[in-house]
Amino acid sequence: MATLRQLQKLPINLADIGLAQYNSPVSYFCTPKGFLPIGYVGVDGIHFGFIRKFGEMVFAVSPDNGPNNVRPVAVCLDDFLSLLLACGSVDAIEQAWMWNENEFNAYIAENRPTEEQKQIFATIEKAFDLYRIDDPYYYIKEIQDDFSLSNIPYTAEYYDVTGIEQSPQPKTEWKVYYDGNFWGSRNRSKPGQEIKVEKHFDWCGKQWYIPSIYLCAKGMVIDFIMRADPKDIKLFIEKWESIEQPTAGQRMLSDLENPLHFKFSTALTANGKPMRQEQGCGFSYIPDSCLSEITYDETEMEAIMEHYQLDPKYGYYINRQAFPWATKTKPKLSKLELTMTADSVQYPGVHFTTPDTNSVTFIHPVTGVQHTLHIEELEPQQLDPSIFRDESMEFPTHVTEISYTVTPELEKREISISDCQDSDSPKIKQTDPMQPTALCAASIGIIGGGCRTQDKTLHASCSSLSFEPREQIEWQISFWHQTNETYQTTLI
């Protein structure tokens, strides 16, 4: 839910647009099991969020609108925010189910956002590079018409309050789609044909399992499953769960230590023709024994655990990858060869401050070799504001380029340094002196820019951007290590 975390960090008051944030989740009788809130309207108990069983889909929960208190409103958070831009309020999104199109459009026309809300919407739009959905009513109704409300997992309290008799949840038929994720397809494509391959192997100190491949009209889907020991998972959680806002270095270290984190690339050859990976998705299963007082709803994993007969005592990382056919039509497979290659791993290093430091001595965390980083030049620069195309925004333009050498020498792909401070957020330009200035958390492409020199021994990097020149900058060294470990096998 990276988009949700980014939304919550924006310098805006989400309560002003009906998405209030509370220190701890507030639950109502009709709040579904496995619910992750996005925000609360603040009246009538209405709130929006995700249900683990349905992945990225966004739901509206309304305690007063029973018996169907929960309805889907968007395929994902980006679409939900785009709907918000188009409708101007969460009220129209939540109430669309009870109106026809004319009533829906009339409500939007009569309930325009305030100037303060427009500023917030502008900040969100810039931060996520969103588009405005042309026909929000049709978008919402299409999702709701295709969704079976009987599949929503309620708690026992819901059935006690409503008096509705709880019926057994229908078993979901196992289907895998080329253009979907673990929860189905957005484009109504046909599910793929499952071909079991049952590959078990050890690689990079991990236990792996490739149970099946799926042949679809557009291409092939493969599930990669990595197993983790519950003792390792529990130790990791105990160490890291109390750190709410980790630094960049802590995030690197956390990725290194996470037993359910592993990045790899794949090369697939079907009948001698290479197939490139087009898309992928993944998530983790954590066994109950590792979660102490944290509640965990494994509804989203039940189908996978059951279909692939996975032992629930262990943890798993499941990665699903899709490969388009290299031929115009789906071929008849005679041979399928797979190569998996471990990605480079990033290690955090020491910090130093300029202009106080001229050289830094450090020990490479992988090789154990001592190196010295020599700062050759610090060059404060100011960018031309015209390079930023959005004339409605004011962007930070001050940046410092640092060039350095390393002895004994390291290749540029092996070492990098980065500013420990984030860039200043762009500002919406003021056209009215009384107008508040809203900040926008947008990414700027040159941040962390690499070396521009042709000298192979000279490295360079850029600081974060700021509105005013900075007298001191704290940098962090990081290292990239490529193990070149591969695993090759024939699936068919």
pLDDT of residue 171: 65
Among 242-246, 325-329, 359-363, the minimum mean pLDDT is found in 242-246
Residue 349 has pLDDT above 50, yes or no: yes
Is residue 348 within a helix (H) or strand (E), and if so which, with residue range? Answer: strand 345-354
Residue 270 has pLDDT above 90, yes or no: yes
- What mean pLDDT is predicted for residues 179-183? 72
pLDDT of residue 431: 53
Q: How confident is the model at residue 1 (pLDDT cuts 50, 70, 90)?
A: very low
Among 70-79, 136-145, 209-218, 428-437, the minimum mean pLDDT is found in 428-437
pLDDT, one tens digit per residue, over 115-171 is 889 989 988 988 887 877 889 999 999 999 988 888 898 888 898 888 888 776 666
- What mean pLDDT is predicted for residues 431-445? 43
- Cis bond upstream, residue 433 (ω within 30): no
Instruction: Give Cα separations from 437 to 9, 116, 394 (angstroms).
Output: 17, 10, 10
Over pLDDT 70: what percentage of the chain? 88
pLDDT of residue 365: 92
For residue 359, what are the contacts with CB-CB under 8 A and spacing of at least 6? 372, 373, 374, 375
Phi and psi at residue 26, to the nearest 5°? -105, 130
pLDDT of residue 421: 87
pLDDT of residue 291: 67
Cα 100 from Cα 235, distance rounded (Å) = 54
DSSP secondary structure of 184-229: EESS-PPPPEEEEEEEEEEETTEEEEEEEEEE-SSEEEEEEEEEE-
Cα 318 from Cα 221, distance rounded (Å) = 13
The distance from CA 294 to its chain's CA centroid, rounded to whole angstroms, is 22
The answer to whether the beta carbons of residues 440 and 423 sit under 8 Å apart is no
pLDDT of residue 225: 96
The answer to whether the beta carbons of residues 189 and 216 sit under 8 Å apart is yes
Per-chain mean pLDDT for the chain: 86
| The three-state (H, E, C) secondary structure of 99-147, written as one string | CCHHHHHHHHHHCCCCHHHHHHHHHHHHHHCCCCCCCHHHHHHHHHHCC
Among 80-89, 126-135, 319-328, the minimum mean pLDDT is found in 126-135
pLDDT of residue 91: 94
pTM of full prediction above 0.85? no
pLDDT of residue 484: 83
**Beta bridge partner(s), residue 317:** 226, 284
